[in-house]
Amino acid sequence: MTAFQSLRLPNGTSLPNRIAKAAMEENLANLDQTPSDHLLHLYKAWAEGGAGLLLSGNVMIDPQAMTGPGGVMLDDSQQLQRFQEWARIGRAHGAQFWMQINHPGRQMQASLGQTTVAPSAVSLDMGRLSKMFPMPKALEETEINALIQRFARTAALAEQAGFSGVQIHAAHGYLLSQFLSPLSNQRQDRWGGSLENRARLLLEVVKAVRATVSAQFSVAVKLNSADFQRGGFEPADARQVVLWLNDLPVDLVELSGGSYEAPAMQGDARDGRTLAREAYFLEFAREIAAIARMPVMVTGGIRRLPVVEQVLDSGVAMAGIATALAVDPTLPRRWKNGDSEASAELPPIRWKRKALAALAYMSLVKLQMRQLADGNPTRPGASPLRALLMEQWSTLRRTRQYRRMMQNRSHTRRTAEH
């Protein structure tokens, strides 16, 4: 199996090769939560880079539920023109372009000033950083049903805008992942308790999305192999969830791992286990690929062509690459043109405070994306501390703008009601 063979999906469409630009949170939206010119410029670089599949960063389904103040949001309140331009740019060189749709649940910072919701009233445990996140409100049955419809509506709008698919985000500790974990989901109703109940929301979202879009529109799921916390969502749980997804028309499952509380994407798990430096989740993905009826994709630390080939040789259908493509978006094209030794990475951050190191690493990734969005060379050797401080300042500024926008929307709504 080579990286540049096409992949036919269950819905009959094809990906031109086996390399995906995995999702990264860009935080490059306009103030009205639509894709900015900077975001379009960034995706132009990725589209020209040669990956067969582009996955967008988080596109949120509710303006009041954001992973960050500079995030994109798509619901019926938005005009589709900017999204249509984004889709056109992402697909211009033959790749499929899927919108990742998401809800943060309790992983929304208190500074955004919105009510935080989750399966249960269980707050994040991030040590001294815990105070950044409020105690969430447990969702009521009617709110859960409304959320299902929001996921479906955003997917329908993505198809109208010209995207070729959506990826439902059920990993990294966001809302659907929170329902899957017994640590964050302590409900006693049909949405909690047994794994079957905890997986119900994800399965209902998949069904609702698939019922809303056309048969040729790709529907994928991003799932944790584990959340790397004792007593949490384990590999055996993930295996069972994939078996249930087998019975639904899902076109691809991407496996990753970790959450804000245990940032496994950094290569360290909270309980002391260490993960391989590249293709962190490959061993588990190989096991899942053996039982999955849909193609499986693995993401986490991949940056070299031999590792991509190792992934494919193991029976996994797609290799997802994130950070390396933020450092060098042209890697797939370079590999295809014979530069098989090409690689790109950020230096690891070995600070004692793991949560802070994870924030600094994400800030460095965002710095690379902002460089590309501005049309400048990337800076992988930049100071992580400086990148973190710049990101915190940018977030502070965007947070003030976001809160002002939400206050204006609330005022406009109240005025209209009167």
Q: Which of 29-43, 127-141, 152-166 shows the lowest mean pLDDT across its residues?
A: 127-141
> What CA–CA distance (Å, rounded) separates 401 from 272?
39
Q: Do the beta carbons of residue 331 and residue 344 sit within 8 Å?
A: yes
Instruction: Tell me the three state secondary structure of residue 276.
Output: coil
Q: pLDDT tens-digit profile of 293-351?
A: 999 999 888 999 999 999 999 999 999 999 999 999 999 999 999 999 999 999 999 99
- Whether residue 267 has pLDDT greater than 50: no
- Whether residue 129 has pLDDT greater than 80: no
- Whether residue 276 has pLDDT greater than 60: no
Where helices occur in 181-304 by DSSP H, the ranges are 195-198, 200-212, 235-245, 282-291
CATH of domain 7-417: 3.20.20.70
- H-run or E-run covering 384: helix 384-417
- Whether residue 266 has pLDDT greater than 50: no
Could you tell me which residue, 368 or 278, shows the higher pLDDT? 368
> What CA–CA distance (Å, rounded) separates 217 from 246?
18
Q: Do the beta carbons of residue 224 and residue 179 sit within 8 Å?
A: no
Could you tell me which residue, 260 or 353, shows the higher pLDDT? 353
> What CA–CA distance (Å, rounded) separates 396 from 402?
10
Q: pLDDT tens-digit profile of 52-99?
A: 999 999 999 999 999 999 999 999 999 999 999 999 999 999 999 999
User: What's residue 275's pLDDT?
Assistant: 40
Q: Which of 6-15, 142-151, 254-263 shows the lowest mean pLDDT across its residues?
A: 254-263
| Nearest residue to 119 via CA among 60, 180, 209 | 180
- Whether residue 363 has pLDDT greater than 60: yes
User: What's residue 138's pLDDT?
Assistant: 98
User: What's residue 226's pLDDT?
Assistant: 66
DSSP assignment string, 82-150 = HHHHHHHHHHTTS-EEEEEEE--TT-S-GGG----EESSS-----GGGGGGSPPPEEPPHHHHHHHHHH
- Whether residue 278 has pLDDT greater than 80: no
- Percent of the chain, pLDDT > 70? 93
User: What's residue 125's pLDDT?
Assistant: 83
Please name the residues in contact with 140: beta carbons below 8 A apart, sequence gap of 6 or more: none
User: What's residue 262's pLDDT?
Assistant: 61
- Whether residue 383 has pLDDT greater than 50: yes
User: What's residue 240's pLDDT?
Assistant: 97
Tokens, residue 111: 């500074």
| Nearest residue to 202 via CA among 232, 223, 230 | 223
User: What's residue 413's pLDDT?
Assistant: 77
User: What's residue 410's pLDDT?
Assistant: 84
- H-run or E-run covering 165: strand 165-170
Angle among Cα 394, 395, 398 to the nearest 5 degrees reads: 85
pLDDT tier at 259 (50, 70, 90 boundaries)?
A: low
- Whether residue 265 has pLDDT greater than 50: no
- Whether residue 241 has pLDDT greater than 50: yes
Q: Is 143 exposed, middle or buried (0-12, 13-18, 19+ CB in 10 A)?
A: exposed
The residues spanned by each domain of the chain are 7-417
pLDDT tier at 272 (50, 70, 90 boundaries)?
A: very low
User: What's residue 261's pLDDT?
Assistant: 60
